[in-house]
Chains A and B, each alone.
Chain A
Amino acid sequence: MKGQPLRFGGLFQKYFLVLFLAVVIPLAANGVSDAWFGYRDQRARLDQLLGVEARSAASRIQGFLDGITGQLGWLVQLPWTEEPDERRRIDALRLLRQVPAIVSLTVVDGSGRERLYVSRIGLNRTESRTDRSGEPAVVGARSARLWYGEVSYYRGSEPYLTVAISGNRSSVGIVVAEVNLKLIWDVISAIKVGETGHAFVLDSPGRLVAHPDISLVLRGADETTLRPFQAARQAVWPNSTGFATSRDAEGDRIAVAAAPISGPDWTIVVEQPLSEAFGPIYAALWRTGGLLLAGAAFAGLLAYALARLMTKPIRLLEEGTERIGAGQFDHRIEIRTGDELQRLADSFNAMAAELTVSQERQERIAKLRRFLAPQVAELVDRKGDDGVLEGRRTEVVAVFCDLRGFTAFSAKAAPEEVMSVLSEYYEALGTIITKYAATLTSFSGDGLMVLVNAPVPVEEPALRAVDLALEMQQSVQDLIFGWRDRGHRIGFGVGLAMGPATVGRIGYESRFDYTAIGSVVNLAARLCAAAADREILTDATVAYAVKDKRSLVPLGSRLLKGYDEEMPVYGICFDERIHAA
């Protein structure tokens, strides 16, 4: 198959396309639906995940605040009297040590007077008795046990939260704490959402309360800094159905979810870069895409291979029929697929074999037709026996004939005339030879040699030969008449003899002639040479064979060339047809 050009004809393309589509379409449909559903599932999962993260983060922040407010409760358990409470002062100082986030504590008694102020960085005050009952913290704590104030910025930078707690009775007083929210940093920076996500806290006006990058918090209420965070909260908070997408400070897309921190009315927002959040989705899509491509490539290869496989027998058939059609009958189509195509190939091979046989047969017939009359040739071949041309010894009648005065004529006449005469002569004689199914063994110039009873035996060969000679003479004499009109003086004589001879083909390679060898042939030739115009001379054997059936005239004995003795010669009576003058 090496030298064969790849022929991607119609059938190959059809097969290829069908096979390829048969694989790729289900693959693609599966992949796409997979990806779609996977995407939806992943989004739902992300939803859940981010929601959980948000709530968990919210609870941690709330825990931080509760840790502080829980400790504050210690200071509002015992009632105040008018006396200074040294123990409570020490308790307040110890509380400062316990809760690093508290910057200062103001302890107020039942009537709202400040009794104690301890600060981490400012001077403490004891028993200042300033009336603080109008302050929002005190008022707030009186109505609700736990009161959260608004976030304010100490020196424009550090976020402070005021928290106030009251006890179970008014006499125990109220404690107001200033909390430095910078210390939320430990909590917020520990909140990790996935690998690259984090959380931040906004208070209700939208200011940043906590962020893993503390410098963003310390910028205070800086509009430009706050914008992306507020936008993120905006995207998700009002609807609060699952997660939303927004852009972070660098402009990258993020997935955000939020949860409330109910105490101080803050919102914690968890964000995760979309690249990570959708990472599994993208990975799945890539995977599907990759699989699809791989599948398509594989389908292509498979389709190609299968289509080639399937069209190969057909190609072999196509090629084989071309070859056989071109005449290469020995070419055989090799198909071993065990199916209809193999059977088709087998019948093509059988056909080719038959064609070979037929061709051989034609050749044999052609061979025979050289010598035999066509019908004989047919007969012989139908019998399938071309051994008929084999050499053997048999009784034959040899008939020789030629034109008298032809040589002289041919010297005088124009070549076209000579050829014309000859062609009329042969045409006439040929018809007769065919009619009598005799074998024309050779001819040269104007002389013919005809055999009867070889290669195919006939009934009454002598009689047939005599009738043959008679008709030949008649026919040619008619022609002579015409030629005379044209001014040619030509005669025709026939000689025939019967006897045993060796018959067969002689020659070499592709030049074979069928002939008879024996004295009968010589005799016939001499008799022909001796025959004058209008004479048919035979020997004794023929005469004896036909004496009762045809009229003979004994012409005595003649000395013929090549024979020591004189031979009896007979003439066949030949009815002259009267030619109208």
Chain B
Amino acid sequence: MINRRTFALGVASACLLKPPAVLAQTSGRIPRIGVLGTALTAATQAIPDGLRNLGWVEGQNVIIEWRWARGSPELHAQHAAEFVKMGVDLIYAPDSAQVEAALSVTRTIPIVFAIHADPLAVGHVASLARPGGNVTGVALLITEMATKGLELLDEILLGAKRVGVLWNPAFPSHLAALNALDKAAAALGVELHRAEARGEDDYDPAFASLAKAQVSGVVVVPSTLAVKEGEPLAKAALKHKLPTIFAFRQNAERGGLMSYGPDLRDALRRSTGYIDRILRGANPAELPIDQAVRFELTVNLQTARALGLSVPPAVLARADEVIE
């Protein structure tokens, strides 16, 4: 009886408060995480914060290597190769471009994503319930967000005929989003015009071309780059007097008209849960993908006023946040 009790107690306490140092103990060293970041944003702070809540303190029992690439896939691949050479225990590649870059250099080091659009469609995982490879994380249903964004824009614009789509070819998930948008546009009876933008310099010309196509509004296919460069994006949209809908609240806060989508920071925080479990020894192939379930609608009335647009009260009533 004594043995069982002690054993059970030991296991119970181990489960409850197994120190993160267990990995250090078992492998004899402190684990390292390589982060493929787009750019340092306020949201990025969610990662070390989330890790600290789970017991991993940067510098004490875990080392984090940050690499910023501003959306350039080549740089991501370079950094990923660097990580592999360094022998990191885990690569953190929040969105699909970064996952793509990481997957190109390793199929064994665990890769965790946080804001992937649709890992199943892109082919990064075998199934949502059982990823089966070395990739897992939090999926944000970007494709669905883009289509709902189109629907909302349609609702606000009260029957638009032409709508523009701003997308970034560097992100593999954007292609899938484009396909879904085409189908949705057909269902809604709307004509779509596409414009590419790989970075800050492309926004103005892209909006200019969309304005020339006489679209009534623009759907921006979401990405972290779009969040980071939210201000120039919003400025460009305003300059060309185009109502734009984004996926992330941060874009609406930085001057976009509306956003409908999951909470970025919450997704990053949830992804740290995956980091925690993998560092404690879980197999990424067995960790199911966590999809977003909560979606927020944010409306920026300042931008609406600047655009001379009146947002229907029905929409305002459904908004989770109204920026006045």
Contact = CB atoms under 8 A, between A and B. Distances in A.
Is B truly associated with A? yes
Interface of A: 90, 93-94, 96-97, 100, 120-124, 153, 155-158, 180, 182-183, 196, 214-215, 218-220, 222, 250, 252-253, 273-276, 278, 282, 285
Contacts of A155: 120, 128
27 contacts: A94-B317, A94-B318, A100-B293, A121-B141, A121-B144, A121-B145, A121-B295, A122-B144, A122-B147, A123-B147, A123-B151, A153-B129, A158-B291, A180-B293, A182-B293, A196-B15, A215-B288, A218-B129, A220-B130, A222-B129, A252-B8, A252-B11, A273-B11, A274-B8, A275-B9, A276-B12, A282-B5
B4 A156 contact: no
User: What are the 10 closest A-B residue pairs judged by CB atoms, nearest first?
Assistant: A218-B288, A275-B8, A157-B128, A121-B144, A220-B129, A157-B129, A275-B9, A90-B314, A156-B129, A97-B318
Interface residues of B, number: 38
Nearest to B188: A123
B191 interface: no
A214 B291 CA distance: 11
A160 B286 CA distance: 21
A59 to B, nearest CB: 24
B212 interface: no
A157 B289 contact: yes
A252 B144 CA distance: 42
Given A123-B187, A220-B129, 12 more contacts: A93-B318, A97-B320, A153-B129, A155-B120, A157-B128, A180-B293, A196-B15, A196-B16, A215-B287, A218-B289, A219-B130, A275-B9
B148 interface: yes
A37 B277 CA distance: 43
B291 A157 contact: yes
Interface of B: 1, 4-5, 8-9, 11-12, 15-16, 120, 127-130, 141, 144-145, 147-148, 151, 184, 187-188, 277, 286-291, 293-295, 297, 314, 317-318, 320
A123 B288 contact: no
Contacts, number: 90
B120 A252 contact: no
B203 to A, nearest CB: 27
Contacts of A157: 127-129, 288-289, 291
A219 B295 contact: no
A100 to B, nearest CB: 5
Contacts of A180: 293
A149 B140 CA distance: 27
B22 to A, nearest CB: 15
Contacts of A218: 128-129, 288-290
B289 A124 contact: no
Contact of A156 (B15, B127, B286, B297): B127
B314 A219 contact: no
A97 B295 CA distance: 9
Contact of A100 (B184, B288, B294, B314): B294
Given A123-B147, A273-B8, A156 B318 contact: no
A480 B42 CA distance: 152
User: Most chain-B CB neighbours within 10 Å: which of A157, A214, A276, A285?
Assistant: A157
A555 B196 CA distance: 186
A156 B294 contact: no
Contacts of A253: 4, 8
Nearest to A275: B8
A276 B184 CA distance: 55
A285 B288 CA distance: 43
A214 B270 CA distance: 11
Contacts of A222: 129-130
Contacts of B188: 123
B106 to A, nearest CB: 23
A120 B11 CA distance: 42
A123 to B, nearest CB: 6
Nearest to B184: A123
Contacts of B295: 120-121
Nearest to A195: B16
A285 B4 CA distance: 14
B94 to A, nearest CB: 19
A146 to B, nearest CB: 23
A37 to B, nearest CB: 18
Contacts of B290: 214-215, 218
A158 B151 CA distance: 24
Contacts of A276: 12
B131 to A, nearest CB: 10
Contacts of B128: 155-158, 218
B127 to A, nearest CB: 6
A155 B290 CA distance: 12
A285 B5 CA distance: 12
A326 B144 CA distance: 115
A93 B313 CA distance: 13
A487 to B, nearest CB: 108
A94 B287 CA distance: 34
User: Most chain-B CB neighbours within 10 Å: which of A96, A155, A278?
Assistant: A155
Nearest to A120: B295
Nearest to A274: B8
A122 B184 CA distance: 9
A245 to B, nearest CB: 11
Nearest to A100: B294
Contacts of B141: 121
B231 to A, nearest CB: 28
Given A121-B144, A121-B148, A278 B5 contact: yes
A237 to B, nearest CB: 23
Nearest to A222: B129
Contacts of B287: 215
Contacts of B317: 90, 94
A239 B43 CA distance: 52
Contacts of B320: 97
Given A93-B314, A121-B144, A123-B188, A183 B293 contact: yes
A272 to B, nearest CB: 10
Nearest to A87: B314
A253 B148 CA distance: 48
B144 A196 contact: no
A122 B12 CA distance: 43
Contacts of A285: 1
Contacts of A123: 147-148, 151, 184, 187-188
Contacts of A274: 4, 8
A162 B120 CA distance: 24
A274 B11 CA distance: 12
Contacts of B4: 253, 274-275
A196 B12 contact: yes
A410 to B, nearest CB: 101
A183 B295 CA distance: 13
A249 to B, nearest CB: 11
Nearest to A285: B1
Contacts of B291: 157-158
Contacts of A124: 151
A121 B188 CA distance: 15
Contacts of B15: 196, 250
Contacts of B151: 123-124
A450 B314 CA distance: 160
A282 B12 CA distance: 16
A96 B260 CA distance: 13
Contacts of B120: 155
Nearest to A156: B129
Contacts of B288: 157, 215, 218-220
Nearest to A124: B151
Contacts of B1: 282, 285
A32 to B, nearest CB: 15
